[in-house]
Amino acid sequence: MAAEAARTTGYARTGYARGLDYGGTSAPALNPPAIPAPIPQERAIPVPRPIRKPQQKNAYSVSLFAIFGTVIIFVLLIFILLAHVYHTGVLTETGRLNSQMNELLEHERRLEIDFMSRINMVEIERRARDELGMSLPDEGQIIVLQSATPQGRAEVIEAEYEESTWRGFGAFLSSLLEYFR
C-alpha cells in the first residue's frame, strides 16, 4: 500500500519509495534494498609529466611607449640644437650688420659736415643773380607774421566730426578691400 501510495503521490520519482515506508511508522521496510558490494579497483600510478621548457613570450622587454617617447625626445633635442645653431648665426649676422650700419652712419655724418662746409652763401648769391636772374627782395616785399600761439607753434583744431555706425562700417569695408587687393 505504501508503494502504491508512493507511486500515486510522486515519491517514486524522488527515490524515497525504495523499500522504506514513510506511511507514518518509523519501522524499516520488510524487504530492504540490497547494497551492492564495492568493486575492487586497481590503484593507478601517476605518470610523471614531461618537463616542458617555458615558452618565450612574443613581448618586448622594453615597452613600445618608452621607445616611442625616447625617439620623440631625441628628435626634439635635435630640433633644439638646430634652432640654437640658427639663432647663433642670426646673432652673428645681426652684429655684423650693426657694425656696418654704424660705419655708414659715421660716413653719413662726415658727408653732411663736408656738404655744410662747401656751402658758400656768397657763391650761391652770385649764381642766383648772374645765372638765374634773381634779385634781392625790396623792403615792401618782406612780410613777417607774428604767431599768436606760444613758442611760435601753429595749432590745428579739428572740426567736429560725427561718427555714425554706417560711416564706421564703410571704413571697415574699405580697409578690408584694401587688404585683399
pLDDT (tens place) for every residue of the chain, 181 residues total:
555 554 455 444 444 445 554 555 666 656 666 777 777 777 777 888 888 877 766 656 778 888 999 999 999 999 999 999 999 999 999 999 999 999 999 999 999 998 888 888 888 888 888 988 888 888 777 777 776 666 666 655 655 555 566 666 677 777 777 777 6
Domain span at residue 87? Answer: 83-135
In a domain, 22, yes or no: yes
Single residue among 120, 135, 150 that ends a domain in this structure = 135
pLDDT of residue 6: 47
- The structural domain count of the chain equals 2
In a domain, 45, yes or no: no
pLDDT of residue 53: 78
In a domain, 163, yes or no: no
In a domain, 96, yes or no: yes
In a domain, 20, yes or no: yes
Q: How many helices (H) and strands (E) does the chain have?
A: 5, 0
pLDDT of residue 158: 56
Q: What do you get for the CA distance between the two ends of the chain, in Å?
A: 116
In a domain, 75, yes or no: no
Single residue among 114, 135, 156 that ends a domain in this structure = 135
In a domain, 60, yes or no: no
In a domain, 98, yes or no: yes
